[in-house]
Chains A and B, each alone.
Chain A
């Protein structure tokens, strides 16, 4: 099960939960599972988030693999200069 962590800004969509365990093999599957747990969060995560999987930050991460016990953080998208 992946350990999914939410920033404080996302916890408005998780009923205050800071982290949950989710079984999924890809980020897409993970977002889908989270949307079932917290209806509406899927769109927010897909549109406005980068994903950090075990410390590595991905953009366009939909098909990235998520291993068992992976630590996953959804991050606000930021722009570089």
Chain B
């Protein structure tokens, strides 16, 4: 189902053609990060800390270096000391997270790496590296880390954002604060007030493809890296920083990517592979095992969140107070900032305080995960709002409509919203048959909403017209969500040629202009705008070539349906094929580049409706029906838009019901495999119904907003609210696993 504003006559945009990467993927020809094999290539293996927090006393690599087949062994000492070089603290953190120098800060932290002829030899050598640790006390949660007597991860960490600045270090990296109005007055005006506390656990992005990198270093200091990432330009920049070299000495080729969801916007293996290759004089491949992915790559934060909200009888939210603490893992940088900005952004609330803390602890450094920070905050806020609606006997959609942010609303994080489509997503849910479908015994229905900013940032594109009138569209944005198809569809629309005549390509860092990371739901908006710009340059060029051919002024030439037409019909049309075949006579090859720092980002909203059935004897919750409505702005590729919407929902359901990092008392992860860390599979779920809402972003040539992230914001609250509707228990801890639901049911009975 799609709710579509009037289509302005697009021929290709909004269609559902065969995906350009489909054949290679279904025939096994697509090359992912681990697939590359180079002549003479060595296999690497990383040595990781078994301790959650320890000082490195010594590392003895001599035994490993003497083993058969071993060609290189490296430690933190093989990398420049960025702290001594005056680097920015964030760069030092990236380097120290790549390989520890003095302290290990989580179980799985890298301390050394080896390269050998075979993988088996590398694994044996890694075991032969002897590391002597002085084990230190650790902290695993925000509560432990924020305690007065907590052991410190970083001796010099002074909390930012506090006035006056603390004199003593702590594990609190920063505080954020947003406030407006008068909280006491707001709660005083409320007819119903609900106050709840919520906890969520770290969860992994759960991409199927583990991290992998191949590096081939030359003796002139240059190196070529092939890796699976969401942004090979960023991999180049980060790797250059850690190695202490110019980015221009590194060439990075983007492999096909088997999922990222934010978790592949950071580096782990690339600098290690380059340094090993430099030491060994041969190419080196590093591939993580699944347990390494879990133990050492970024999950998202575990959190503790307190929410107090009040409403008047007519459903207006009079006040909101939100306190949140987010785990950052080993280094500062949890997404609590975005959480603070998004927590109540769906609503126009006159009085609020949102306070948040970025807290380091002895777990892997968190990484971005779809709408980073927003889902946990939404779980808390949307659960409380559901309870308030019940207290005043108001429909859950109606209470959201009564408070919904619209164009001109002063967002809780500051600026006024431009044209947005939140109300339309609420109405789409309310008008859908699912909203009034019958519910069976022990079944319940929940609603929740979410907001995400989306992003713009920098992109480049090149368009080549081939000699037969087909086109190659070259970008530097790794395709994690169907961007190649979106680029091809927009190019087809602009050039007026069939989608099938366009080949979209993701090029390496030396072949196309700079592109920021594929993240923030930005690529169809920003890289798409660059493609549109490049295509329009091509069209202008083609009009000029037709004018030259006809010996007329260029304003006598129009570009219509893929061909040059004389405005008076005085000349027979010239197709793109005609012009391309004779390009040598009219100026040479037809090609254009466009680069931009994107403007006009369009915010994204999603409202979701979940029906569950809870088994009161086992506590098992089954999702029986699910509907997601999301404002895409314009769905360039509806298939992929629905895929993004469904993917976000499915990950959110996993977060809601099953997924969590489990650590023992020593800080060792106990479930680093997909057997014990269970993500939803197809048989667990119903079809996720999609209602694409299209409220075009007026700042984009095709109205694009971006769709990759906001879909994961509402599911946890939608599921929790549905559980409450089904069995009358309010779940405040994620995951809402069977044992927790059962405990809550038993407490109700007691």
Chain A residues in contact with chain B, CB under 8 A?
A: 5, 7-9, 12, 52, 54-60, 71, 73-81
Contacts and interface: CB of A to CB of B under 8 A. Distances in A.
B520 A81 contact: yes
26 contacts: A7-B178, A7-B413, A8-B177, A54-B415, A55-B415, A55-B417, A56-B601, A58-B599, A59-B456, A73-B413, A75-B415, A76-B340, A78-B341, A78-B372, A78-B373, A78-B453, A79-B262, A79-B335, A79-B338, A80-B368, A80-B452, A80-B453, A80-B519, A80-B522, A81-B205, A81-B709
A56 B599 contact: yes
Contacts of B177: 7-9
Nearest to A52: B415
Nearest to B266: A79
B178 A81 contact: no
B51 to A, nearest CB: 29
Given A79-B368, A80-B521, A81-B369, A5 B178 contact: no
Contact of A80 (B176, B263, B341, B454): B454
Q: Most A CB atoms within 10 A — which of B263, B414, B457?
A: B414
B454 A75 contact: no
Contacts of B452: 80
A80 B452 CA distance: 9
Contact of A81 (B162, B456, B519, B599): B519
B597 interface: yes
Contact of B699 (A5, A56, A60, A77): A56
A81 B230 CA distance: 9
A58 B372 CA distance: 19
Given A9-B177, A81-B368, A55 B418 contact: yes
A9 B178 CA distance: 7
Nearest to B706: A80
Nearest to A15: B163
A10 to B, nearest CB: 9
Contacts of A52: 414-415
B162 A78 contact: no
Interface residues of B, number: 47
A76 B709 contact: no
B643 to A, nearest CB: 16
A19 to B, nearest CB: 10
Contact of B414 (A56, A73, A80): A73
A57 B178 contact: no
Main secondary structure of the interface of A (DSSP, over half): mixed
B414 A81 contact: no
A9 B175 contact: yes
Nearest to A81: B262
Contacts of B162: 12
B630 interface: no
Contacts of B204: none
Nearest to B416: A55
A78 B338 contact: yes
Contacts of A12: 161-163
Contacts of B176: 7, 9, 76
Nearest to A59: B457
B600 interface: yes
Interface string B450-488: 001111110000000000000000000000000000000
Contact of A9 (B161, B338, B521): B161
Nearest to B342: A78
B372 A8 contact: no
B45 interface: no
Given A79-B265, A81-B262, A81-B369, A57 B453 contact: yes
A28 to B, nearest CB: 15
Contacts of A76: 176, 337-338, 340-341
Interface string B689-708: 00000000001000000001
Contacts of A9: 161, 175-178
